[in-house]
Amino acid sequence: MGIIVENNIFTLHTNNSSYQMKVDDKGSLIHTYYGKRTDETDYSYLIALADRGFSGNVPQAQDERTYSLDFMPQEFPVWGSGDYRVNCLQTDLGSGVNDCLLVFDSYKTYTGKYALQALPAMFASEHDKVETLEITLKDYHEAFYVHLLYGVFEDYDVITRAVVLENKTDQNIILSRIMSACLELNTSDWDMIHFYGRHAEERETERVPLFHGITELKSTRGTSSHQHNPFVILAEKNANEDMGECYGFSLLYSGGFHMQAEVDQTCQARLVMGIDDSDFSWELPSGACFTAPEVCMSYSALGLSKLSHNYHNAFLNHLIRSKWKDKQRPVLVNNWEATYFDFNAGKLLKIAEEASALGLDMLVLDDGWFGKRDSDYSGLGDWVVNEEKLGCSLKQLVDEVNGMGLMFGIWFEPEMISEDSDLYRAHPDWAMIVPGREPIRGRSQLVLDMTREDVQEYVKERLFAIMDSANIQYMKWDMNRSIAAAYSAKLSGKRQGEVRHRYILGLYHVLEALLQRYPDLLLEGCSGGGGRFDAGMLYYSPQIWCSDNTDAVERLRIQYGTSFAYPMSTVSAHVSVCPNHQNGRVTPFKTRGICAMQGTFGYELDLSKMTDEEKDMVRKQVQTFKQHYRLFQFGDYYRLTSPVDNHDYTAWEYANKNGEEACLSVVFTDLHGNPVPQIVKWKGLLANREYKVLRDMEPVGKYTGTALMQGGILLPIPKENYDSCQFYACVEE
């Protein structure tokens, strides 16, 4: 049983964690426990009541000054209730003041997982050990209801949360802030691990202590963003990959988000997470509901690797819907860094011919095939094939590529519009421009108003027309700017605060329609690389282009940060040319291959311009990737060193769930005149079995699992800058 309800106490159990809340004698829903699996003890005995002065007392407490929500751990704290800390809800229920006060109303439980209206959410089948708890709170005065949803995934140590607000009053309600989840911890000594960055440098890892005050992460860009990722970890001070308590919080949302962690006056920590409230307001009419996106929480008592495995397993089995999650992904070549906008069918077919000869599976045609699009100044929105530029129809090109034994994929940027486009000339009001003002441009382009149904219909019609015109099996869905002044001509002035969220609902609507119509499509998410690498997008696309930075060494850090929450099979990674186009660095071809194999593997260079030696290496890399494919896609992933802390080398490993097979990769990031021996310890093997170990396909020796995990393996001395090696261990039959 995942959910146990007794005496107004709700205890949620997963295999290794428990979560508890309680309705107290004032009707407040208080949070009492989240941590290592426990029994159903009422943990509210740990809450110390005292008159702390200057903390508000709710009406139910009358003169009981020791009762204040200002220090009470709560499930869903609300602004205006005498609690002055970061909160989940700010709403005006009609008085003109944000003064909601919530008390318990009712609850229900059921087998299976709740779904959310128009938003991504984790799912379960009837065979899964998953249960739902729905607790309803009500405003102390008005018929305003808050439904708190909890999905308990017992076998995954994951609990999801979402919120539905329901207006049963007879007037409109104004929301100005709605967070999806709150977690209260009764100590403050936590580190926050978060993932910050910028374009081409996404998901850098930083670990900082919480302090008395508020630690805040936010994307105000209308996308989950390159700058911050909607995934954070709270970890015990001494927690590392293998030990210590840690909690993860992942928001299933692709728009702007807000995360705050506050250490309060009584040294408790509170974390809240939800959609970006900086420019948010929402008019909730009488009788209507508002659904806030889902948060996926996980707890590990055994350090960060276990926490990541919880997320990887849960996302692979209960978030990613694509058929491709279980199928071998094609090794592709993408023409972006090979040709940029300068291509025609002849050039593409030369690349395809080589791809086919070298054992690749797919050609992806990137930006520039439509409208007038020879640079990034024009053409977006005109999704009509430029046959003059290609020299043939799309169908002819695709048929030829298919004839070589390759699949075909294509790039779109459906949410955008160029001012120099037929679409803009016909529908200037479809672009987000505040009337009477000059637009804020990004990459010289404007954003389509995806909140509008006519825009959504146009985008669908164009996507479907291109998809139906040829045998296209993959689509790269790109988005190349942040949203500035979010404006919709369809909404009244006072409702413009709804635009950013409605934009994301519009995006999800079109993605859903696309996948309903083409259920076999392999959709790759992208936003100028990894600007929208979030769990919301994974509901639609089983892989996401991780970064526009294809330098193997910088990718070590980017992919390291990405791996904390997201399964490596979602991380799209390509081998590109040297000097690298983003930073000019030169790395060995072999290293570029090993780094790209950390994720979903492919190439992004002109295969027809390679030396024979390089072609030979491509052949071998493709072979290796395909040979170990199941290990890479379905194995447990271990970060063996951190590229943030270890400047000599970075190592990572995949181990099959049964422990019988593993692949350990190492990239050297520094050279020394007189190097000290370096030893790396394997993880996830079977202690008592003997393994045959190969290094770069050559036998190294036979060792027990114990030896490899406790002793480790000696690394070779690097022979050149950014040298690398790949070990493979397999039990002897």
Between 83 and 420, whose beta carbon lies closer to ligand DGJ? Answer: 420
CA distance 709 to 11: 37
Q: Is 367 in the site for ligand DGJ (CB under 6 A)?
A: yes
User: Is 189 noted as a catalytic residue in this protein?
Assistant: no
> Which residues in the 431-460 window bind ligand DGJ by CB under 6 A?
none
Kindly tell me which residue out of 77, 230, 497, 529 binds ligand DGJ, with binding defined by CB under 6 A.
Answer: 529
Which among 459, 484, 480 is positioned nearest to 527, based on CA atoms?
A: 480
Which among 71, 65, 84 is positioned nearest to 28, based on CA atoms?
A: 71
Taking the complex as a whole, the smallest distance from the CB of residue 411 to ligand DGJ amounts, in Å, to 6
Taking the complex as a whole, the smallest distance from the CB of residue 334 to ligand DGJ amounts, in Å, to 7
CA distance 559 to 570: 11
Kindly tell me which residue out of 230, 528, 593, 635 binds ligand DGJ, with binding defined by CB under 6 A.
Answer: 528
User: Is 534 noted as a catalytic residue in this protein?
Assistant: yes
Q: Is 370 in the site for ligand DGJ (CB under 6 A)?
A: no
Between 548 and 554, whose beta carbon lies closer to ligand DGJ? Answer: 548
Between 2 and 529, whose beta carbon lies closer to ligand DGJ? Answer: 529
Q: Is 10 in the site for ligand DGJ (CB under 6 A)?
A: no
> Active-site residue among 534, 636, 653, 723?
534
Q: Are strands 332-334 and 600-603 parallel, antiparallel or unpaired?
A: parallel
Kindly tell me which residue out of 201, 478, 534, 554 binds ligand DGJ, with binding defined by CB under 6 A.
Answer: 478
Q: Is 70 in the site for ligand DGJ (CB under 6 A)?
A: no
Q: Please choose, out of 15-23, 89-97, 110-118, 525-533, the segment that lies near ligand DGJ by the rule CB under 6 A.
A: 525-533
Here the tokens at position 470 are: 């040829």
Q: Is 548 in the site for ligand DGJ (CB under 6 A)?
A: yes
Q: 506 with 455: CB under 8 angstroms?
A: yes
Residue 23, beta-bridge partner list: 29
Kindly tell me which residue out of 29, 526, 571, 708 binds ligand DGJ, with binding defined by CB under 6 A.
Answer: 526
CA distance 34 to 32: 7
Cα separations in angstroms, 391 against 111, 372, 386, 388? 57, 14, 8, 5
Q: Is 561 in the site for ligand DGJ (CB under 6 A)?
A: no
Locate tokens 């659904």: which residue? Answer: 291
- DSSP codes joined into one string, 106-122: EEEEEES----TTS---
Length of the chain: 733
Binding residues for ligand DGJ, rule CB under 6 A, total 11
Give, as one character, the DSSP assignment of residue 629. Answer: H
Kindly tell me which residue out of 79, 336, 474, 668 binds ligand DGJ, with binding defined by CB under 6 A.
Answer: 336
Q: Give the DSSP H or E segment for 532.
A: none
Taking the complex as a whole, the smallest distance from the CB of residue 657 to ligand DGJ amounts, in Å, to 33
Q: Is 348 in the site for ligand DGJ (CB under 6 A)?
A: no
Q: Which residue's C-beta sits nearest to ligand DGJ?
A: 367
Q: 447 with 483: CB under 8 angstroms?
A: yes
> Active-site residue among 614, 648, 690, 696?
614
> Which residues in the 398-417 window bind ligand DGJ by CB under 6 A?
411
Q: 179 with 148: CB under 8 angstroms?
A: no
Kindly tell me which residue out of 480, 559, 591, 724 binds ligand DGJ, with binding defined by CB under 6 A.
Answer: 480
Q: Are strands 269-275 and 282-284 parallel, antiparallel or unpaired?
A: unpaired
Taking the complex as a whole, the smallest distance from the CB of residue 517 to ligand DGJ amounts, in Å, to 23
CA distance 29 to 133: 14
Across 534-616, the runs of DSSP E, i.e. the strands, are 543-545, 571-575, 600-603
Q: 456 with 490: CB under 8 angstroms?
A: no
Taking the complex as a whole, the smallest distance from the CB of residue 336 to ligand DGJ amounts, in Å, to 5
Taking the complex as a whole, the smallest distance from the CB of residue 328 to ligand DGJ amounts, in Å, to 23
Kindly tell me which residue out of 257, 533, 545, 682 binds ligand DGJ, with binding defined by CB under 6 A.
Answer: 545
CA distance 319 to 568: 14
Site of interaction with ligand DGJ (CB under 6 A): 336, 366-367, 411, 478, 480, 526, 528-529, 545, 548
- Residues that are catalytic: 534, 614
